[in-house]
A and B are shown apart, each in its own frame.
Chain A
Amino acid sequence: GQQVMQIPQYQHVQEGEDFTTYCNSSTTLSNIQWYKQRPGGHPVFLIQLVKSGEVKKQKRLTFQFGEAKKNSSLHITATQTTDVGTYFCVDSGGSNYKLTFGKGTLLTVNP
């Protein structure tokens, strides 16, 4: 897979505020996977998006795949301190194994 551009690189919020991170690609993506890495931890798989316009929810997390499959977003409603970490979107298409991780978005939450 190709490396996907992700913004912002850093985001600091007050607990209770919403948070969104965006991924963009210049070419059409096959699939997008999202991972979360807590400080000092390891990447943990969150979700995979496959279909154009797909929206998936996990409690306070909402994942979207753009209609053109060139962008994706992760939105967290009412952030909590447990949401702290780096969120990576990863292009998981093009082969059946290669994930190319970008820089991710580091989220910090002020209690």
Chain B
Amino acid sequence: DAGVIQSPRHEVTEMGQEVTLRCKPISGHNSLFWYRQTMMRGLELLIYFNNNVPIDDSGMPEDRFSAKMPNASFSTLKIQPSEPRDSAVYFCASSPDTGGGTDTQYFGPGTRLTVL
């Protein structure tokens, strides 16, 4: 299995530009998570999907952030317009959702976003 795939791995953009981060979860996993990691705030859960449906988006910072999961094998996290304070590493993770308690989450390699 290829594991969770994220693209791009690095993104440098200018303030005000739209940024789209992409994620392909592990095949067969029903749950998908987007996290943001910074030195100051650590690892924060942004949004959680189960069976392609957003279940918990309480961690999404503001309206500039949006996430979609059009099918079981693809999700996007979009920031529009981007701001320098959005600079962080964004991780996508998936889990099998076996229903037997909290499942292991498998993290992708992350996208390092720099907004100038």
Binding site for B on A (CB under 8 A): 1, 30-31, 33, 41-45, 48, 50, 88, 92-93, 95-104
Contacts and interface: CB of A to CB of B under 8 A. Distances in A.
A44 B107 contact: yes
B104 A43 contact: no
Contacts, number: 60
Contacts of A101: 42-44
Interface string B74-116: 0000000000000000010101010101111111111000000
Interface stretch (B11-19, B20-28, B48-56, B63-71): B48-56
Nearest to A41: B109
B60 interface: no
B50 A42 contact: no
A96 B97 contact: yes
A92 B102 contact: yes
Contact of A33 (B31, B55, B104, B108): B104
A65 B41 CA distance: 27
A98 B49 CA distance: 11
Given A33-B102, A42-B91, A98 B48 contact: yes
Interface of B: 31, 33, 42-45, 48, 50, 55-56, 91, 93, 95, 97, 99, 101-110
A97 B91 contact: no
B116 to A, nearest CB: 21
B45 A42 contact: no
A1 B109 contact: no
25 contacts: A1-B102, A30-B102, A31-B102, A33-B104, A42-B91, A42-B109, A43-B91, A43-B105, A43-B107, A44-B107, A45-B104, A48-B102, A48-B104, A50-B101, A92-B102, A93-B101, A95-B102, A96-B99, A97-B50, A97-B102, A98-B45, A99-B102, A99-B105, A101-B43, A102-B42
Nearest to B6: A42
